[in-house]
Amino acid sequence: MRPETLYQLFKPLDTLKGIGPRLKNKLKYLIGENVIDLLWHLPTDVINRAYCPNVVEAEKGRIVTFNLIVNKHLPSRRKNMPYKVHCSDETSDIDLIWFNARRDYLEELLPIGKEIIVSGKIDVYKNTKQIIHPDYIFPAEESKKLPKFEPVYRLTQGVSNKVIRRNVLEILNLIPDIQEWNDKNLLKKMNWPSFNEAIKNVHYPGDSLDISHDNLSRQRLAYDELLANQISLSLISKNFSKIQGHSIKSNSSSISRIINQLPFELTNSQKMCVDEITDDMTQPERMLRLLQGDVGSGKTIVAFLTLMHAVNAKKQCAFMAPTELLASQHYETLKNYCSVNDVSLKIITGKTRNAEKEEIYSELRNGNLDIVIGTHALFQEKVVFKDLGFVVIDEQHRFGVHQRLSLTSKNQKKPPDILLMTATPIPRTLELTAYGSMSVSKIVEKPHGIQIIETAAKPITNVGKTIKSLEKIFKNNGKAYWVCPLIEESEKIDLAAAEDRYLSLKDVYGDNVLLIHGRIPSEEREKIMSEFKFGNKRILVATTVIEVGIDVPEATVMIIEHAERFGLSQLHQLRGRVGRSINKSSCLLLYQTPLGINAKKRIETLRETNDGFVIAEEDLILRGAGEILGTRQSGFHIFKIANLNTDRNLLELANKNANYIVSKGLLDGGSSAENFKLLLHLFNQDRAIKYLEAG
């Protein structure tokens, strides 16, 4: 239950005066649904109304504040003509202009002979100065009502700055005296004000510095938001670690023997990840760990060794992949390793024959099958394990949370350990805020013998030469990808279409060219990808559907057309489809000139480095957290005040302090615990409160 002092702040927006159903609906998508959401909607700019010249000296285009006398009303004669009010000061005349104005309203507002204060943007029409639709008009005796510095808020169609400002001022009066949760020494060191002072200061900016991240009040609120997030994640992690799982212990010498059998040497990074994961699996608490590895870094073999760790401990395992092709690829990679070690391995997908499926179901129920690889088919009720101890989920972001849970709940006794894998490197800032409740292992090296992909960039006018240059892949028995950003021509933007590019390449290379895009049914797409991998076709024209997954070692050339249209991480993922063998690989970025600043930076970054973690950090700077994670797909909490680019130092501080607060039991009782609960309530981290109350 929220403290009573906060009830007013968590009421629906339409409890505020002047907010009806229509406005509430518009504000819902702009800021949120509750009163407090308006409080976190901070100004993005400030209007300075302190410029008070006389009329003759006023500079065109500036926001001005005048002291005027009303001289004459000139109502509009025709519907499309403006309503003018002639005014003046001691130096010159000026017109106030309205379109579609009500005469009775303006005559009451501006009686002739009245001294008024007017503020708005000054313009000039036919040598006469004018203000169109003034922002403010007050009687001269009420001049104190005019704000000298007016905050400007982010808006949406149908919502005015005045509406936001009026309601924010009302809410500021509802805020109770908030007890301090931050350490006094921290506040003194950072020179931060109290919460109540901070929230009022940010909504009363005096200049542009007050709306920047350097403003001390903003810093304090950003830190509070990050601290609430980090405490919440720390509590979730602590609660998760209490769940009893399988203590999966196996003979370490047998794992070493399997490693020695491999036809290649593991990198130090792979060895470290295997050790981290298997050590975690031996603990009595349930494991939830994320394995990050750049494209081609060797995550599958790390997963195999951890699967063997579980199998040696007599536990059944499931390995889930998002597509049948990727599941088949994992199966082909692992079946020989399993066979050599006398481990039973089978695959179940939508294509598996019913008789074979029934056999697999039976073997899983009886405990006669060690490892099953599959797609969404593993979610089916018929899939029942005798003792599921370990689950690996590849490209985990492609599965919904409920789907993952449906697989991981297939052991009725104790929940299995979970290893999530992703080929998308995650910047540390996002790792802390989006994945802070789980342990993370990282493969930061490429396997031995894999060469760095040479990346070049050329204007798209070189497309003819590029098509001709593909002749060399036929001589070298190689294969090439040609990626286009759209499926078909758009009338509005000049983008090369995959279908047109396919036809132009087919004119030169005949039946050696394949086409794949998102509108082709998934089953047919997988057939095309399989034909490209195992058949004699040399060139695959594609959209981004080939971004993640399929491994074609013979593919040594990646051409990305209109590279300026892709995000940095997406370009890196596409580039990672080549360079999967010891053969020299290359990537060519074809771009439309002139390049924008961000597009130029993306292409430069890609040419300078092959390190996915460096690229992920740069992508975060260029695009922001929401676009990288995909708000809807990931469910990631986009911060309302904190900015993960400018406030990284505050995030590190919040992470450190949150871990201290939780580990030292400062949330377990007493006044400090109540203050921290207040923080969590204010920033909508109610789930953390539930964990606290549940002990």
596, 541: one domain: yes
Final residue of a domain: which of 609, 624, 659?
609
Determine if the pTM surpasses 0.85: no
Write down the pLDDT at residue 376.
81
**Residue 253 in domain:** no
Residue 61 Cα distances to 45, 57, 85, 130, 172, angstroms: 17, 13, 20, 11, 33
Summarize pLDDT for 201-247 with one digit per residue, the tens: 999 998 888 898 899 999 999 999 999 999 988 887 777 666 777 88
Q: What is the mean pLDDT of residues 22-36?
A: 90
**Residue 152 in domain:** no
533, 553: one domain: yes
Which helix (H) or strand (E) segment is 71 a member of?
Answer: strand 63-74
Structural domains of the chain, count: 4
pLDDT band at 546 (very low <50, low <70, confident <90, very high): low
Q: What Rg do the C-alpha atoms of the chain give, in angstroms?
A: 32
88, 180: one domain: no
CA angle 321/325/328 to nearest 5° reads 75
268, 366: one domain: yes
Residue 251 Cα distances to 248, 282, 308, angstroms: 10, 11, 10
Task: State yes or no: pLDDT of 417 exceeds 70.
Answer: yes
What mean pLDDT value characterizes the chain? Answer: 87
289, 359: one domain: yes
More confident residue, 132 or 474: 132
pLDDT band at 517 (very low <50, low <70, confident <90, very high): confident
547/516 Cα distance (integer angstroms): 12
55-59, 565-569, 691-695 — which is least confidently predicted? 691-695
Tokens of 266: 């593991």
Summarize pLDDT for 454-513 with one digit per residue, the tens: 999 999 999 999 999 999 988 888 999 999 885 444 433 334 468 889 999 999 999 999
Q: Is the peptide bond before 43 cis (omega within 30 degrees of 0)?
A: no
Summarize pLDDT for 91-102 with one digit per residue, the tens: 999 999 999 888
Write down the pLDDT at residue 395.
76
Task: State yes or no: pLDDT of 639 exceeds 90.
Answer: no
Kindly report the CATH number assigned to the domain that includes residue 319: 3.40.50.300
125-134, 424-433, 547-556, 629-638 — which is least confidently predicted? 629-638
Final residue of a domain: which of 556, 581, 609?
609
Write down the pLDDT at residue 632.
36
Task: State yes or no: pLDDT of 303 exceeds 80.
Answer: yes
**Residue 172 in domain:** yes
291, 305: one domain: yes
**Residue 691 in domain:** no
Q: What is the mean pLDDT of residues 281-296?
A: 88
465, 401: one domain: no
312, 422: one domain: yes
473, 569: one domain: yes
486, 541: one domain: yes
Q: Range of 289's domain?
A: 264-443
327, 367: one domain: yes
| Three-state secondary structure call for residue 63 | strand
Summarize pLDDT for 398-411 with one digit per residue, the tens: 555 555 556 666 66
**Residue 667 in domain:** no
Which helix (H) or strand (E) segment is 137 a member of?
Answer: strand 136-139
Write down the pLDDT at residue 374.
92
pLDDT band at 90 (very low <50, low <70, confident <90, very high): very high
Q: What is the mean pLDDT of residues 38-56?
A: 94
131/64 Cα distance (integer angstroms): 9
Kindly report the CATH number assigned to the domain that includes residue 90: 2.40.50.140
Write down the pLDDT at residue 629.
46
Choose from 43-47, 76-80, 283-287 the range with maximum mean pLDDT. 43-47
402, 273: one domain: yes
453/473 Cα distance (integer angstroms): 16
Final residue of a domain: which of 573, 592, 609?
609
More confident residue, 357 or 435: 357
Residue 250 Cα distances to 122, 305, 309, 389, 507, angstroms: 79, 12, 6, 13, 58
Residue 389 Cα distances to 366, 371, 416, 637, angstroms: 15, 11, 4, 31
Q: CA 687, 690, 692, 695 torsion: positive or negative?
A: negative
Task: State yes or no: pLDDT of 636 exceeds 80.
Answer: no
